[in-house]
Amino acid sequence: MHLRQPIVVVLGHVDHGKTSLLDKMRGTLVAAREAGGITQHIGASLFPLDAIVSTCRALLGEVKVQLKVPGLLFVDTPGHAAFANLRKRGGSIADLAILVVDVTKGIQEQTLESLELLRTRKTPFVVAANKIDLIPGWKSVEYEPFPKAFQRQSQAVKDDLEQRLYMMVGELAGLGFRADVYTKITSFATTLAIVPVSAKSGEGIPDLLLVLLGLAQVFMKEQLTVREDVPAEGVVLEITEEEGLGTTVNAIIYDGKLKVGDRIALLGPDGAFTTKVKAILMPKPLDEMRDPRDRFKPVELVVAAAGLKVVAEGLDRAYPGSPIYVVGQSEGETLERITKEVGEFRLFTDRVGVVLKADTLGSLEAAVNFLHERGVQIRVADIGEISKRDIVEAEVVRIKDELSGVILAFNVKVDPVLEREANSKGIRVFKSNVLFRLVEDYISWVREEKERRETTQFESLTRPGKIRILPGYVFRRSNPAIVGVEVLGGKIRPKCSLMNSEGKHIGSISQIQDKGQSIPEAMVGMSVAISMREPTVGRHVREGEVLYTVIPENEARLLFKSFANRLTEDERAVLEEIAQIIRKNNPLWAR
């Protein structure tokens, strides 16, 4: 048994400096090569403890704590795809994460998505508040620790940075994270550390490395303990084509050992399958990588944690994000384990729900969780580009529920021909490489569509209205009767029928006029002229009489139960009066 390096992944919004930060950290440690510099892995870089301590000691003084973690294994491919693929059942292979936030811009769209992923996977993380060098008036000293760098600034610069950090703390609190600048934290177990850094000048990078090492050392001893004699467990980061080798997989091994000749199990479109490891490749040391003809060196075995390239037959069938397990005594058990592990989010059901397509297993899992948390039902969740079958599935759903008969494409190419075919069948295709945006776009559309449909339905209903025939304003007694009225409550429109206070039908409004002009409706407080073909004033209706609109029972029921909140206060009062009049003869009316 030994302690392995914590696997660290870098996340954050586009252009907030993820790659620059990794490059600067790598540069820091390459500069300290005499202490045992950086080792290149596939898709990862190993930062040895000696190099980290050497770099940090020169800037922060002697490290007092006894460090036992052998270093940090940084996943080189920053971003959501890498983190999403670093998945295992019930969590993440990434032990730690750095969430990079531009201190001048604060939390943005992909930051929210990163936070959601970190929360779902329960991954401990540190916030790197990057670009402190962009604070107006900031004076940089390369690789200086943050407390020293902060002290040398003018009061105006200090106040500016503190204000921005305070706002970041507030934004994180609003999202459910208790956070503070790392120098003010007494308990790292309960408070999220914010480390101000500059990926450009390297200020704060020693602080960031030491905070990561400290978290790993104090909180992760158990999960970092690996046994060298157990079969390897890992995950596919990406599938790559290599000249002379064919399809290979770049993978991270997080437990056990992998050797040439092992049979490994992976997942593909047709389910779990096994293949034999022909070769394991690692990059040559950094100083030898200038020769592009021979970038890799073969090794016989690797022990966790490591980034490596596997050569084997049939790897073109593997999914990015697939688990990799060395097959033990029972091949069937291993295959069943993989199938169970991904069966929770790779879905093919008969339920009414959306069709979801994603680029990798990890992305798919994140998207399924994201949708379920927001109460969105899923019919199909699978990997790969949109196919004709997906359109058929969405079409079947659309017959039952138009708002669920859609396709969500996360990080996958959408063939314009297929998209046009889907659109011609009334199926919307939502696409984005930002999960948060994709789901929000769909949910907003559903909300707007429901609102539009409700409004259309509400506008088609007969509205409650109450009028009084004004004495002295009978312009014509019959054929048609034309009278002046005051609208006492609600509203009236042409074609709506009127009844008296006994519930007896008087006639229908043919036209409403205001100052000689026809108008589509009259609201409470207005005095207008109305014409009615059926009644004769003096026989069927009298001056000063109060009349009400006649509302069909099914429409009244909808107004009471579904649209009461859309009615004005006076409309609700008139509706109650109308109900009381009719319920004298029909007690169950519109109940």
Mean pLDDT of the region 213-242: 83
Mean pLDDT of the region 465-485: 93
Mean pLDDT of the region 69-75: 84
Tell me: pLDDT of 372 over 80.
yes
- Please give the torsion angle defined by the CA atoms of residues 182, 187, 188 and 189, in that order, rounded to the nearest 10 degrees: -160
- At the top level of CATH, the class of 465-583 is mainly beta
The CA R_g of the chain, rounded to the nearest whole Å, is 34
CB-CB contact of 415 with 432 (8 Å): no
Mean pLDDT of the region 484-507: 93
Q: What is the pLDDT of residues 85-95, one digit of tens each?
A: 887 776 788 89
Q: Which two tokens stand for residue 241?
A: 């084509």
Mean pLDDT of the region 111-124: 86
**Which backbone phi and psi does 334 adopt, to 5 degrees?**
-65, -45
What mean pLDDT is reported for the chain? 87
Residue with the larger pLDDT of the pair 264 and 304: 264
Q: Give me the pLDDT at residue 334, please.
A: 86
Tell me: pLDDT of 62 over 70.
no
> How far apart are the C-alpha atoms of 451 and 455, rounded to whole Å?
6
Mean pLDDT of the region 127-153: 92
Q: Give me the pLDDT at residue 352, please.
A: 94
- Would the CATH topology of 347-459 be identical to that of 465-583? no
Mean pLDDT of the region 243-253: 89
- Which residue in 393, 453, 467 sits closest to 425, CA to CA? 393
User: Which of 1.10.1490.10, 2.40.10.120, 2.40.30.10, 1.10.260.40 is the CATH number of 233-341?
Assistant: 2.40.30.10
Q: What is the pLDDT of residues 334-361, one digit of tens each?
A: 888 888 878 777 888 888 999 999 988 8
Mean pLDDT of the region 261-286: 87
> How far apart are the C-alpha atoms of 419 and 411, rounded to whole Å?
15
Q: Which two tokens stand for residue 365?
A: 């899992």
Mean pLDDT of the region 497-508: 92
Mean pLDDT of the region 525-548: 93
Tell me: pLDDT of 289 over 50.
no
CB-CB contact of 345 with 323 (8 Å): no
Q: What is the pLDDT of residues 141-169, one digit of tens each?
A: 888 889 999 999 999 999 999 999 999 99
What count of residues does the chain have? 591
User: From the CB of residue 385, how many other CB atoms can be counted at a distance below 10 Å?
Assistant: 13
CATH number of 2-226: 3.40.50.300
Where do the structural domains in the chain lie, given as residue ranges?
2-226, 233-341, 347-459, 465-583
> How far apart are the C-alpha atoms of 269 and 246, rounded to whole Å?
19
Mean pLDDT of the region 481-487: 94
Query: Any idea which fold 347-459 has?
Result: Rossmann fold (3.40.50)
